A and B are shown apart, each in its own frame.
Chain A
Amino acid sequence: MRPALRAGRDLGFWALCFLALAVVVAPSLAMVGTLLQQAGPALSLHLLTATTANNGLQNAVLGSLLIMLGVLLVAGPIGVLGGIYLAEFAPTGRAWLLRLGYETLAGVPSIVIGFVGYVLLAQELHWGFSLLSGIMALSAIVLPYVVKTTEVALLQVPSTLRDAGMALGLSRLTTLRRALLPPAVPAIASGLVLALAIAVGETAPLLYTLGFSDQDPSLSLFQHPIGYLTYVVYLNATLPTRLEHEVAGAAGLATLLLILALIGVGRLASRRAARFRAQLPT
């Protein structure tokens, strides 16, 4: 083939690739821009001092933080302990089965989890639209993520540490606590934080489990619906007036900032984890 033709193809191919990159990058910037533009006029302290009943976001911010805390308390311990089991204690066959289980759970559409949350928790167990129903539904969504990151974090700790523990006559638990967990902690923490980032951006599983309220959240676990940020975006996006769109934009911006902060913290933690690993013996 003629060299000019080959060079031309090369150029064309990479031009298309960079075009694809631009097409991916542009919308992410455009979305942030739209949120800023929509939220702009509404950005003031009023958002934090008034509830959604008065076009503020106080109750939604508090509600979202409350849900994050709940998910951390429920999915955090279960996921980390489960991940420890899969990485350190599970016989091969059983680990395979349980891994299949959580990976499949991760593939269940969030609205199906929300539907089950409504039928089982809100109705059957009479929890109603409440904090606990919402936390449980969200925990089901992020649990696979926490299990997976914990498992991977432990598997990245070199096995020589396990051998060393065994050679010293330490029990497996002591080896875990003293040698295996410390270098894995940053990576596990990064997984937890990213799980919270996923949780705070969800809407579908909460619609029929957490409900919505335009008042500040009560701390009651049962029967009290609670407002949260993503619902405000959803609701106000479909409402007609300018002011409502401004509040929707502000709620979206608040959610995004929360998520980006969490992703940032997760990034720091995982960079730390990589540094940690580099210091370990092979």
Chain B
Amino acid sequence: MPASVTLTNLGKSFGTTAALTDVTAAIGAGQITGLVGPDGAGKTTLLRLIAGLLTPDKGTLEVLGHAATDRDAVRGDIGYMPQRFGLYEDLTVQENLNLQADLHDLDEAARSERFATLLQFTGLAPFSRRLAGQLSGGMKQKLGLACALLPRPKLLLLDEPSAGVDPASRRELWRIVRTMAGTGVAIVWSTAYLDEAERCDSFLLLDGGRLLASGSPSDFTRRLEGRTFLIDLPERQRHRVQREAAALPSIADATIQGRSLRLVLKEGSALPDLSELVGARALPRPTRPRFEDAFVSLLLADRPPVSAPGIQATSAPSADGIAIEARDLTRDFGKFRAVDKVSFTVRPGEIFGLLGPNGAGKSTTFRMLCGLLAPSAGSAHVAGVDLGRARATARERIGYMSQKFSLYGNLSVRDNLDFFSGVYGLAGRRRSSRIAWTIESFDLGSVADLEAGTLPLGFKQRLALGCALLHEPQVLFLDEPTSGVDPLMRREFWSRIGGLADGGVTVLVTSHFMEEAEYCDRLGIVYAGRMIASGSPDAMKQRFVTAALPEPTLEDAFVGLIREHDAERQGAAAA
């Protein structure tokens, strides 16, 4: 197969930080190549290098038969979709396409043919006169793709095309891209979602600017054949069981997957006896290895295993057996109803996930529950306090960690802890002991005097969680806590959260990230402002088991639920 892009010992640094080091790879025509890795791995830098937006410092780069120095020759043959799709939001769909056509010098005949094909292909034809800013996330993504496809590129570069897009749109996108690959276009698809790597023809796995692995995903996972198992978990203390299993010498990785524990054995190890942990009746059953399993065992090869201590929560659960209660929670923004009568309850010590596509209302619901937004109607009780009446009291009992790890970047770790303990009103011996506890349990001693902004992502995440726990809250709110971090960090993070939950802390988490949702005890799916389903991850998956799909993923369940809901609504509208 001819290579469309060849990278040889490619290197790129910004100032003193190396973004890419010594990358050698080839990208084939007619293939979808997944560019996989956590945030900051160098995916965007690599794409920009290939697109000709950056020039490499070291090594050689050949694109469509031309060297990196001779980019003008091939620019017309490259389609590039940057993050957030690069659309002019105050131009209409048609105007965005016109602009691209002008830039690529398409003449009248060619452009009308291309427009018709692409609009039909992406299903955007009915919306051609709508402003791009008024399209949904999924439609924006398709328009961005249409713009990139307009000049019939030989190489298509997609930078995180599926970020922030709901699973249904994501599948649609895959369908389109797959068709394109069939016509011989070389496609590079960058993503932080490891499950997407499995669908690619080949992948490049980046971490810290280095190429860790490449090849075909099936070859990559095949190495773990026979080493992956699922085993049922007991009702209680699931997180403790997971932690202890992960610590066993023969186990490479242990993660909670709904009601089951997923185990990856170390190379050459036999399955240990787990009856003490999970009870005698639970039997391990073999399962198909996933991309993430292979990635984790690869990462573990050069990193010491994570020994996240289970944090013992010190606060007492609230008395009445309900930690969070939302009753008919509603929020209007002008005429738009973002959240419509959402009700649910969360028991103390439970991890509850709000799952939904962007713009569906999950963040609004979440913000109302942690007191950042007042509801238009309905009520919210958190940690035994009515948020409508005593918001300040409620805030003393909740901890909050946002997606951006809201830390003061130019303050040291200790300064951040000092500050947050101060605003939570801690003083004297309690303050110093809580700060000491945080530094110790989150392993921050080595970086206590460094500026928070300069820390690696993993430390930032730990510090942010530490800050949220300083005042020993009863309820912890997590907003997309592990999107974009590598799987090891995510494991470490969730093992801490698990420990907290075991100790009675209630956790409410939002996510559009299916892998994150697996860690939850129960999920609520928010779609179009309503909660369309709730229940345990297993129960949700169970509904979609078919002969063709004996082991549905949470994403399958999610897409299915949304389809059912849409069909129901259309039926109601027709009647």
Judge: A and B partners, yes or no: no
Residues in chain A within 8 A of chain B (CB atoms): none
Chain B contacts to A: CB under 8 angstroms: none
